[in-house]
Structure formats: C-alpha cells, structure tokens
Amino acid sequence: MIPPTDPAPPSPDAGDTVHTAPIDWRPLPPRGALLAALGGAMAMLPLGFPLFFIIRATGLASPWLATPLVAAAGAVVGAWIGVRRHRRTSWKLDGEGFAVRRGNWWRNETLIPISRVQHLDLKRGPLERGMKLATLVVHTAGTRMAALSLSGLDTVDAERLRDTLARQLDHDDAL
C-alpha cells in the first residue's frame, strides 16, 4: 500500500550521493468523503440558530420556517465543502519525511522531516472504525501544539505510516 521509502542504491560513478526515486502523492480513500461531508455539515448547521433571532426580531418571515431551511442549506454547503477538502488532500512518505498537501487554488504543503518527529498517535473513532479509516497524528519537536493530523486515512495505510515513521525514528536515534 505504501510506496517504498528505501533510497535507490547509488550508481558506481555517483560517488557518495544517494538518489531517491520520486514518490507520487497518494489521495485519501474515497470512502472517507462521507465522514468529511458529515463533519462539514455539522460545522455549518449552527448558522440557522442566530438567524432565528434575527428573523424573529425583524418579522420578515416565520422564524419557524426560515430557520430550518437556512440550517439545512448551511448543512448542504458544509457537506459540499467537506467532500471537496477531502478530495483535495493527499500525502506522501519519502526520504525527506512525511508530507501532506491540502487545497487546490490555495495549496498548502506541510513537510515533517523524520528528525522532527517526536511521537505518533493513531486515533479511530466509532465511525472511522466502521469505515476502516483512521486519523494519524504526528507530533513534532517544538511547541506543545506542534502536530500534524491527517484524518480519513485507510487503516492499513495509517498503521504502516505509523510503523514506518516509528522505525525510522528509532533508527535515527540509534545513530
């Protein structure tokens, strides 16, 4: 599932340089889009509550009719945004470290060098377990809030990433 992270052997005339084969970005599994949609919908759902008081104060329409409609519209927009974010998130693990790419127009790429990894967490809530997904949290050296969280990973990929990063971290500590 995870592309090999071992560098290619050096060519005889390359001297001391080691070349690594390029590794492509891997998308999150499509089945995680449902959880992303649920999260986005739940985040936007509360937009209807302040509107209730605004409509009631102004008397423009029945707040009992307009509020659920606006809340439902907010949930639909939030679900759409969640699915699009999920589809535009990818990751890779190579010789440089663990990288996550998010976004399309405003692309955000985060690279965590192996030497900066402090410890790793693998989180699986009941919905994630049911869909065979997991959240990988990579804690880095720095402030206490320095961590990268990637949710919606396939469970097998998340476990292999965790084990590979931990093995490389242990190998670096032994040197």
The tokens describing 135, both together, are: 């959240």
- Model-level pTM? 0.74
Task: Report d(CA 32, CA 133) in Å as an integer.
Answer: 7
Q: Which pLDDT tens digit goes with each residue over 65-88?
A: 877 888 888 899 999 999 999 999
Which of the two residues, 34 and 2, has the higher pLDDT score? Answer: 34
User: Residue range 131-152: average pLDDT?
Assistant: 88
The answer to whether the beta carbons of residues 16 and 50 sit under 8 Å apart is no
- The pLDDT, as a whole number, for residue 116 is 87
Beta-carbon count within 10 A of 154 CB = 19
Domains annotated for the chain, with CATH where assigned, are 36-84 (no CATH), 90-174 (2.30.29.30)
Q: Which pLDDT tens digit goes with each residue over 37-57?
A: 999 999 988 877 777 778 778
Helices (H) and strands (E) in the chain, counts: 5, 7
